[in-house]
Amino acid sequence: MYLVRRVVEFSIWDILRNLLLAARWTIVLSLIAFVGGGLVGLGLLVVRTTQMRVLQRAVSIYVSLFQGTPLLMQLFLAYFGLALFGVETSAWTAAAIALTLYSSAFLCEIWHGCVQAIPKGQWEAAQSLALNFLEQLRFIVLPQAARIAVPPTVGFLVQVVKGTALASVIGFVELTKAGTMITNATFKPFVVFTCVGLLYFLICYPISAYARKLEGQLHVYSR
Amino acid sequence: MRVALEFFPVLEEWPLLLTGIAWTLLLTAASTFFGLLLGTVCAYLRTQGPEWCRPFIVGYVELIRNTPFIVQLFFIFFALPAAGIRLSAEVASVLAMVINLGAYSADIVRAGIQATPRGQIEAALSLSLTHRQVFTRVVLPPALQRVWPALVSQIIIVMLGSAVCGQISTEELSYAANLIQSRNFRAFEAFIVATVLYLVLSVFVRHFFQWFGRRFVFGASRG
């Protein structure tokens, strides 16, 4: 009887409050994946820009594996794969690892494009100043590539935030999972999923608008 | 520790996997057709339509681009019945994919349309073609040709995203993998097989649409 009363009394503010609490984990997971993916992606980028063909090929294959398969499958593989190799897995670690690797592949691809956009003469000029490979990359190429890399990188953050919604499928309680759980408790799917959608929009829209603004500025500078 | 992977129990269930592949391809084909149609109509309205409908198109595109696909799918499947619209899992999946692809392709096609040289439109108008004829015969085919690679990539992304549709019991490939692992507990192997199949599908679908575009979409207009 008590439970039934509770269900009836679930107001829209209760729904919003619980969703907002869960949205924290969407943001935390996004940041972990984005920062972790950035670090791994940077490492992959360095490997990919070296002159060793085998390593370049290996990184390209890594990237196309992640780009050619569903993120959902990557999450499942991380979830069941880690358990198989005897690692104690929670939905947390599996989601963090899968999303980090996913982000690293995409960021590596984005940044690789930016590095390739730097004229060959810059590399040669740096080489003629007797800088070694890492110095050429660190002091000459990356600073220039970073300037054009910022807008698409910020834009990719939106992809990461949206990607975290899939972690709900392996049981990680973030915004989407909270939405389905609250729906099961309140039987108000329309209200709940409208709120879930709006919250995602409130997180993502400012980021994509900012990315667009950065891109516009870049075009002004390069004119 | 030693990990023994056994793929035979998974491959033994090949009829399920085959059904899954067929459903994934069917969902992709249906959503590509209707999604590109919707995207083109939106791009037309955005660039040449009446002034009042532009904010609606922009709002639709931004809303879809800034929310996760899984939330859009759950909204259509779980929330719309509360508003009196009851759809089967398969129809809900296609609808979600169409709405998703429609928003992304609207933006891509718009970029192609806006790159049309002014003189071509003026030349076509001076031959007394109507505005509609100018759009469908002169502007659209080369616009689609310009952005076709981006559209094909987006179709692949939507196909990979369709893995989520298994969550509402559409019997596509990821659903088949889930079903197989619930029968024989070979979860890791089942998802590896499904992931490899997705990879093959994405390569196949990319080549197919590259050929399809040349043959039917813009190639035909060049005689």
Q: What is the pLDDT of residue A3?
A: 53
pLDDT of B33 higher than 50? yes
pLDDT of B149 higher than 90? yes
* H runs (alpha helix) in chain B: 8-11, 14-48, 54-65, 69-74, 89-114, 118-126, 131-133, 140-161, 173-184, 187-212
Among residues B160, B201, B194, which one has the least CA distance to residue B176?
A: B194
Interface test with A, best of B69, B70, B85 (most A CBs within 10 A): B70
- The percent of residues above 70 in pLDDT, for chain B, comes to 96
A159 and chain B in contact, CB less than 8 A:
no
Q: Which two tokens stand for residue A27?
A: 């943001």
Question: Do A201 and B203 lie within an 8 Å CB cutoff?
Answer: no
Question: Do A193 and B65 lie within an 8 Å CB cutoff?
Answer: no
Q: Which CATH architecture has domain A12-221?
A: Orthogonal Bundle (1.10)
pLDDT of B48 higher than 70? yes
Question: Do A162 and B78 lie within an 8 Å CB cutoff?
Answer: no
Q: B89 or A84: whose pLDDT is higher?
A: B89
Q: Which two tokens stand for residue B145?
A: 């040709």
Reported confidence tier of residue B218, pLDDT bands at 50, 70, 90: confident
A88 and chain B in contact, CB less than 8 A:
no
A84 and chain B in contact, CB less than 8 A:
yes
pLDDT of B124 higher than 70? yes
The domain ranges of chain B are: 8-222
Question: Do B79 and A168 lie within an 8 Å CB cutoff?
Answer: no
How distant, in Å, are the alpha carbons of A28, A30, A190, A199 from that of A187? Answer: 28, 29, 9, 19
Reported confidence tier of residue B223, pLDDT bands at 50, 70, 90: very low
Q: What is the pLDDT of residue B26?
A: 97
Q: Which two tokens stand for residue A161?
A: 């935030």
Q: B1 or B90: whose pLDDT is higher?
A: B90
pLDDT of B132 higher than 60? yes
Q: Which residues contact A172 (CB under 8 A, 6 or more apart)?
A: A25, A29, A91, A92, A94, A95
Q: Which fold has domain B8-222?
A: MetI-like fold (1.10.3720)
- Nearest chain B residue to A167 by CA distance is B70
* CA–CA min distance A67, chain B (Å): 9
- The percent of residues above 90 in pLDDT, for chain B, comes to 79
Q: What is the pLDDT of residue A187?
A: 85
* CA–CA min distance B213, chain A (Å): 20
* CA–CA min distance B209, chain A (Å): 15
pLDDT of B57 higher than 60? yes
- Tens of pLDDT along B166-213? 999 999 999 999 999 998 888 899 999 999 999 999 999 999 999 999
CB contacts of B162 in chain A (<8 Å) are 70
Q: Which two tokens stand for residue A51?
A: 């002159």
Per-residue pLDDT of chain A (223 residues; tens, 9 = 90+): 455 555 556 788 888 999 999 999 999 999 999 999 999 999 999 999 988 899 999 999 999 999 999 999 999 999 998 888 777 788 899 999 999 999 999 999 999 999 999 999 999 999 999 999 989 999 999 999 999 999 999 999 999 999 999 999 999 999 999 999 999 888 889 999 999 999 999 999 999 999 999 988 887 755 4
What is the distance between the alpha carbons of residues A19 and B11, in angstroms, rounded to a whole number?
41
Q: What is the pLDDT of residue B186?
A: 87
Among residues A80, A86, A52, A74, which one has the least CA distance to residue A164?
A: A74
- Nearest chain A residue to B205 by CA distance is A68
Q: What is the pLDDT of residue B2?
A: 63
What is the distance between the alpha carbons of residues B205 and A91, in angstroms, rounded to a whole number?
32
pLDDT of B82 higher than 60? yes
ipTM: 0.90
